[in-house]
Structure 1
Amino acid sequence: MVAIIKTGYSIHKVFYYNENKVKENVAECIGAGNYPIDVDKMGLTVKLNRFLKQLELNENVKRNSMHISINFDPSENHSKEKLMAIADTYMEKIGFGEQPYLVYQHHDSGHAHIHLVSINVQRDGTRIDMQNIGKNRSEPARKEIEELFGLVKAQANKNSTDFHLKPIISGKIQYGRSESKKAITNVLTQVLSSYKYASLPELNAVLKQYNVLADRGNEDSKMFKAKGLMYRILDDNGKPIGVPIKASLFYNKPTLKFLEEKFASNTTNEVSDIRRVKNAIDMAFFKAQISLTELVQLLEKDGINTVFRKNAEGLLYGITYVDHTTKCVFNGSTLGKQYSAKAIQERCEPISQAEQKMAGLNNRKLQEITFKTPNSQIIAALFGDDFQNNKYVGSDTIMRQLWDMLTQSEQTAAYLPYELRNKKKKRKGQSNNR
């Protein structure tokens, strides 16, 4: 069992997300807690007003909604009665047993799961503290419930990836409006709220990792001039495929106006987040004769995707870094001049076309690059002159320690794309007494 908790500012959005799933026949409301009548006798107004009336008791609470998904192992298939018993027990153990809540069973994925909708304003108008609810209350509750109901236990490494966003494999999507909309909704639900992006190109740098594109059309189009927006599915070559869908047709209305508000509120200039990406890039260049392909692969192993922007002639003019660990997106120039596309090209030299083909670039006109700055100078720039001596650069053990120190995240998150493909092997420590 895996429980994921999200808080928000709008009970309407959470409520209608689940009710729209019911309308689409991919979910059903199977029960409710602390409502005056049975759920099958309630209409939408009664369900929603129960939340709204209690929220009126403390209008100062802005982040007042709670949306929980409880996910079960794919081998499990529980009855509605058991799912309700699990939901009731979970809500009681995390301190929401007296709160009004609705329970929805969803049928739109390969594993059984339920969604719980509630609020954090109590009957006396006080607010339920949500600080560290996942660690302090949800995790202990999960473990107790697994034992109590005989559920398959969550394994840290395995289950943490089971319910995170997975890249869309476009060949498996049955194109057409309904299937495309479901696939895009899955991506938008997780990306829009969790990543920090300050422009449409930065958002698309993330969406393209999952074969989705937010498209305004060209500057001369009616859609662009009217500030319209469509979402498209991309094939494995990055080309649009299937029917584009207007932003206004999605339940949470991810229109251009909505995104522009997100752009204004998102701040990706946290020093620790910027430092993590910059250090990962610098450390990647310690290897002599590093190519563009190798740079991309090294950063990817550390949870950072590199997105290149090229003009019609195929010339590189921009680089965007997507850090899936901190959920931040940075243009190269945001990190500093030396990380921009122009500066990187000036710091590197091209190699032959034959070597490009051998590197697996599929005959694209991309130049492989060789880092020219000596390792000792990079060490000095990162750590000071005391580290400039080459003996530090020559020690594999110290270099690994520096890498781990520089690229560690100050936040905890799972970067799915790499983890799904390979498990990191632990490096055995070696003693080198001299």
Structure 2
Amino acid sequence: MVAKIKSGKSLIGALNYNENKVKAGKATLIAASGYMKNHEALSFFDKLFRLTDLAERNIRTKTNTVHLSLNFDVSEHMNKDRLVAIADDYMKRIGFEFQPSLVYQHVDAGHPHIHIVTTNIQADGKRISLNNIGKLVSEPARKAIEIDFGLVRASDKKKEEIQKLDIKPFEYGAADTKRGITNIVNEVTKSYKFTSLPELNAILNLYNVSADKGTKESVMFNKGGLRYWALDKNGNKIGVPIKASSIYTKPILKLLEDRFSLNDFLRKPFKENLKARIDKVRSQAISLEQFKNNLNKNNVTVIVRQNSEGRIYGLSYIDQVNKAIFNGSDLGKNYSAASIIESLQYKPTGNVATSADNIAKKATSASPNQDQPFIKQRANGLLDELLNPLDPNDTLPNQFGPKKKRKKRRKLNL
């Protein structure tokens, strides 16, 4: 089991996130603790008022929202009763036993998981400290629950294998658009190190998603807004865009820009290793397609940037091992599009030492009755003349035999 705790300042935001999932058929409210009614009889106002009533008893504490998720291994089949029992045990172990809470079962991911919405403000107005709650409180609780309920232990598998969504290129119409875009955007912005919006889009485009600021004349552009589009197989925008502010993790432009400088620092240690992999592949490739395919085998995705006329003007390299993207200019002049294409275009395609043998073979096939050693010797001579031309000043005077002496004209004395 993997437990994740997020704290915030908006109870209505956390509640709306889960209620919208319920409306879309992606979640179900399976339990409510600390409420006067059964969870099935609660209205949206009932759910919100119970939480905000406590939060208002401590107006000095701004962080009054706790949004938890408990994630289970894909091999585990969890019914509602078991999920509710685990949620109750977990809340008791982390000190939230007497806090009102709402438990939602989500069915929009590849693994079973529940979300719990509550507040850290108690009935007497005191707050429950959230400082290091994950390490000091939640982690011991998680390990104890794994043993008591016989769950797959997170320590037996990498956490990322349980937490990470198995994102694939989005197919418009095959799944809920907002959910599909949200999964991809959340995973990419969390995992990859990008330093600009074009770099982010280079990665998102691999999953048929694009971030868009709008045209320079638009209100959205002038206000620093951002929206995310689904793309079809040809890279064209399709459907209705999703506002960045409507996604729960808020991947808005300002937040992304704050990440650019940090990501630039975080990706530096992987630069030289990436250059070494590119150098190795470039020395063996004889075409751009082969260059891309061979790098892909080395876990490097090459993005070719070209204009509407098909002219290539840039290359980007995505290191899939270290989740870092670099433009060719970031790595150095030798890794730019012009340099790579030139090195591939003018790379010798054969061994000069065997050229004479090739000439001889062609000549032999054309005249099978001729003496082969003589042909090969003649081929070597022709090759030497082509590869090592002599100075014309040394050869021209002797090419036409000895120089003839000019006859002197006799002068006649008249």
Q: TM-score normalized by structure 1?
A: 0.63
Give RMSD over aligned pairs.
Answer: 4.2
1:247 and 2:245 correspond: no
Aligned to 1:277: 270
1:303-322 mapped onto 2 (5 Å cutoff): 307-312=303-308, 313-317=310-314, 319=316, 321=318
Q: Structure 2 CA distance, aligned partners of 1:49 and 1:209?
A: 43
2:76 partner SS:
coil
5+ residue gaps, structure 2, are 286-290, 348-414
Aligned to 1:22: 22
Aligned to 2:384: none
Aligned to 1:88: 88
1:150 partner SS:
coil
1:157 and 2:157 correspond: yes
* 1:219-249 deviation line (CA, Å, top 9, x unaligned): 68998799886533345x56237x4223249
1:214 and 2:205 correspond: no
Letter matched to residue 280 of structure 1: N
- How far has the Cα of 1:17 moved from its partner? 0.9
Which of the numbers 165, 177, 183 marks the counterpart of 1:186? Answer: 183
Are the aligned partners of 1:16 and 1:251 in contact in 2 as well (CA < 8 Å)? no
Are the aligned partners of 1:308 and 1:320 in contact in 2 as well (CA < 8 Å)? no
- Structure with more contact order per residue of length (Cα contacts < 8 Å, sep ≥ 6): 1
Q: Structure 2 CA distance, aligned partners of 1:123 and 1:283?
A: 61
Letter matched to residue 17 of structure 1: Y
- How far has the Cα of 1:205 moved from its partner? 3.0
1:233 and 2:202 correspond: no
User: Quick one: structure 1 residues 212 and 34, their matched pair in 2 at CA, closer, same or farther if it must change by over 3 Å?
Assistant: same
* 1:90-118 deviation line (CA, Å, top 9, x unaligned): 12222332333210012223433211122
Aligned to 1:263: 256
- How far has the Cα of 1:84 moved from its partner? 1.0
2:166 partner SS:
coil
Are the aligned partners of 2:121 and 2:127 in contact in 1 as well (CA < 8 Å)? yes
Are the aligned partners of 2:193 and 2:264 in contact in 1 as well (CA < 8 Å)? no
1:144 partner SS:
helix
| Count of matched residue pairs | 341
User: Quick one: structure 1 residues 286 and 62, their matched pair in 2 at CA, closer, same or farther if it must change by over 3 Å?
Assistant: farther
Query: Rg bigger for which structure?
Result: 2
Which of the numbers 308, 329, 339 marks the counterpart of 2:331? Answer: 339
* 1:42-81 deviation line (CA, Å, top 9, x unaligned): 2112212333333334445455433222223334333322
> Percent identity of the aligned residues?
35
Aligned to 1:46: 46
5+ residue gaps, structure 1, are 356-434
User: Quick one: structure 1 residues 157 and 135, their matched pair in 2 at CA, closer, same or farther if it must change by over 3 Å?
Assistant: same
- How far has the Cα of 1:23 moved from its partner? 1.0
1:247 partner SS:
strand
Q: TM-score normalized by structure 2?
A: 0.65
Are the aligned partners of 2:146 and 2:152 in contact in 1 as well (CA < 8 Å)? yes
User: Quick one: structure 1 residues 124 and 13, their matched pair in 2 at CA, closer, same or farther if it must change by over 3 Å?
Assistant: same
* 1:237-265 deviation line (CA, Å, top 9, x unaligned): 56237x4223249843899xx72332343
- How far has the Cα of 1:347 moved from its partner? 6.5
User: Quick one: structure 1 residues 339 and 93, their matched pair in 2 at CA, closer, same or farther if it must change by over 3 Å?
Assistant: same
